[in-house]
Structures are given as C-alpha cells and as structure tokens.
C-alpha cells in the first residue's frame, strides 16, 4: 500500500481534500479508528492538518491513516451548551480577525475571546478593521481610533481596510506573503469580499447583510485553504456568531492578556486573580488607565464563565 503525506485544504465533514507535496489534490475519507480514540471534538481532522494517506487503486477508497503532530491550532466550543470543541484550523502562522464597527458590529468581548484563545494556543494574531468606508462621522472615526489604540498599545497589529474601495489591502497582502493565515470573524464582516480583493482569481461567493438583524448571511459553508498567487495560503472559514471558549484553567486566563501577564509578578500574591486581592498590580493599572477598562471587564467575564473550564482536558 502506497503511503503519502499532504496537508488538508478542504473539509466537508465526511470527505477531505489533501494537497500533496507534488501539488496533486487527493480526496480521502477518515479512517474510522480516529472516531473511537476519545477525541472530544466535532472534527478530528481540521483544515491545515498534515496527514498520511493510504492510496487505493479506487479514488473513492483513499483513507487518511494518520494525523501528524500539530504545531498549533485554533479551537472553539462547538455550541453554547456543548462540552465538545470544534477545531477551526491547524498549523497556522497567523490568525486574522476581521472586525467591523457597523453592519454588523463586532463586540470587544468577541475580539478578546478570540485573542485569548489565540494566545493560549501560541498563534500570533492581527485585527483587520474592514468597511472603514462606512465610518463617516467624527464620532465613528474616533471610536475606531479608540478601539485600535486599545490593541496596538498591547502589541497587536491593526489594519484599516475597505474591501469595497481597496483601501489598506496592500498592507494586509504584505503581511500574509508565504504564510498560512486564518481569516475569521462574524458572518457579514466582508471576509469573502476581502479575500476576493486580495486574490481576485478565487471568485469567492459573497452575501448580503440582513437588514432586520444587521447580521451577515453565511456564504462560506466549510473551511478551505486557498492558495495565493504571491505565496502562502488563506484559510477561509464559516462566519462565527459567538466565540465559545473551551479548555482553559482559571489561574491561566490572565496569562493570555499580554498587558496583564507583564504585571503578574508585581502583584502581592503569586496566585492573584486580579479580582479582590489587595496590592494587585493589574487592578492598579486599570485604575490608572494603563490597562483598558473594557479588557479588564472582558477578563472578568471570561473568568466567571464556568461553561468552558473542562478540568479533564489537556492541550
């Protein structure tokens, strides 16, 4: 039996498209044993996974026999009440979160949960503020600058772009050359439109915004790794309504807020939760404005969310 290696570039749930080292695409199924090994995810294999395939003489009998070790992966809770997780993508060089301040609005809580998860799984992150052409009043522009300052001041790169006008696109292109980059965000933030401007030959389907709910309509229905003509790949994923976090320890949460992690050793207690303890460096930084109030409140929200602390899971 001939065994070859490749990377999963498309997942439809039952079939996986695998790009081999000689740039052939092979459709394969998953060997059943993976589903009985206690992997508590809705998808044992994710786009970006490096795998081994046992080739068959019949194309519809190719089987993925092994998942090679992952360098990292992006993960979220499958549903609000579920204890299972969904791996969004694996082996990433960077995760780009597409953010819009209007049509639809991306909340700071959503942004922070995404960034904390990326930090926990060692994935560099960037924020892309799309649809800046919709921000016309001084109030809207000031709000954009305020939010950008929150994140640039703690080390996150932020880009202002418009998929409609093409503004800022070149900066994004320069940052994704020869990388495997995840593009994620709410439905309707213009993710597919943005990718089409970056790489016009892809012709991704784009959707409209629901006027009633001001939320996006799903246009991407499955994860897919898209090749870029100038080098690298974009992993396009279905829009996410909520970013349900999973598999964190309470005492670790502050470690994934870079501005808090930098102050941890200045707290009076080594196990400080930054909530009620005296002489807490983090709380003092919030009081003097060094740490933003929104980031701290989102930290407390994550800390108090009991639904994703799964004690028997290990990363």
> What digits encode the pLDDT tens for the residues 30-48?
877 665 454 567 788 999 9
The model's pTM: 0.88
Q: How much is the pLDDT for 41?
A: 76
Percent of the chain with pLDDT over 90: 68
Does residue 23 carry a pLDDT above 70? yes
250-308: CATH architecture: Orthogonal Bundle (1.10)
The pLDDT tens digits for 176-197 are 999 999 999 998 999 999 999 9
pLDDT bucket at 248, cuts 50 / 70 / 90: confident
Distance CA 16, CA 126 (A): 28
- The strand pair at 15-20 and 25-30 is best described as antiparallel
Homologous superfamily of 73-236: P-loop containing nucleotide triphosphate hydrolases (3.40.50.300)
- Specify the CATH number of the domain 2-67: 2.40.50.140
Between these two residues, 287 and 251, which has the higher pLDDT value?
287
On the 0-12 / 13-18 / 19+ scale of CB atoms within 10 A, 125 is buried
Q: Give Cα 156 distance to the centre of its chain.
A: 14
Q: How much is the pLDDT for 31?
A: 76
The pLDDT tens digits for 89-100 are 999 999 999 999
* 77, 87 contact by CB (below 8 A): no
Q: How much is the pLDDT for 107?
A: 95
Q: How much is the pLDDT for 111?
A: 96
Q: How much is the pLDDT for 202?
A: 82
Q: How far is CA 214 from CA 103, 132, 187, 220, 239, in A?
A: 6, 17, 10, 18, 14
* Domain residue extents for the chain: 2-67, 73-236, 250-308
The pLDDT tens digits for 267-313 are 999 999 999 999 999 999 999 999 999 999 999 999 988 665 444 33
């Amino acid at each position: 039996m001939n065994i070859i290696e490749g990377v999963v570039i498309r997942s439809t749930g039952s079939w996986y498209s695998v790009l081999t080292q000689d740039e052939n695409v092979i459709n394969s199924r998953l060997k059943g044993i993976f589903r009985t090994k206690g992997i508590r995810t809705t998808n044992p294999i994710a786009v970006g996974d490096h795998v081994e395939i046992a080739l068959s003489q019949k194309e519809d009998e190719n089987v993925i026999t092994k998942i090679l070790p992952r360098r990292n992966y992006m993960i979220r809770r499958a549903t609000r009440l579920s204890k299972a997780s969904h791996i969004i993508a694996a082996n990433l060089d960077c995760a780009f979160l597409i953010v819009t301040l209007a049509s639809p609005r991306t909340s700071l809580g959503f942004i922070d949960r995404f960034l904390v998860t990326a930090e926990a799984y060692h994935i560099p992150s960037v924020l892309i503020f799309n649809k800046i052409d919709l921000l016309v009043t001084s109030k809207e522009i000031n709000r954009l600058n305020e939010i950008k300052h929150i994140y640039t001041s703690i080390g996150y790169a932020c880009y202002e772009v418009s998929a409609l006008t093409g503004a800022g696109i070149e900066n994004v292109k320069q940052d994704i050359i020869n990388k495997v980059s995840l593009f994620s965000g709410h439905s309707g933030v213009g993710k597919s439109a943005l990718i089409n401007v970056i790489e016009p030959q892809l012709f991704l389907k784009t959707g409209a915004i629901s006027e009633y709910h001001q939320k996006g309509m799903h246009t991407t229905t499955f994860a897919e790794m898209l090749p870029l003509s100038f080098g690298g790949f974009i992993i396009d994923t279905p829009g996410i309504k909520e970013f349900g976090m999973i598999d964190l320890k309470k005492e670790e949460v502050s470690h994934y807020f870079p501005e808090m992690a930098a102050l941890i050793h200045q707290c009076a207690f080594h196990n400080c939760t930054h909530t009620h303890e005296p002489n807490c460096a983090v709380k003092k930084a919030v009081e003097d404005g060094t740490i933003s109030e929104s980031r701290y409140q989102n930290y407390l929200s994550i800390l108090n969310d009991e639904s994703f602390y799964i004690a028997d899971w290990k990363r």
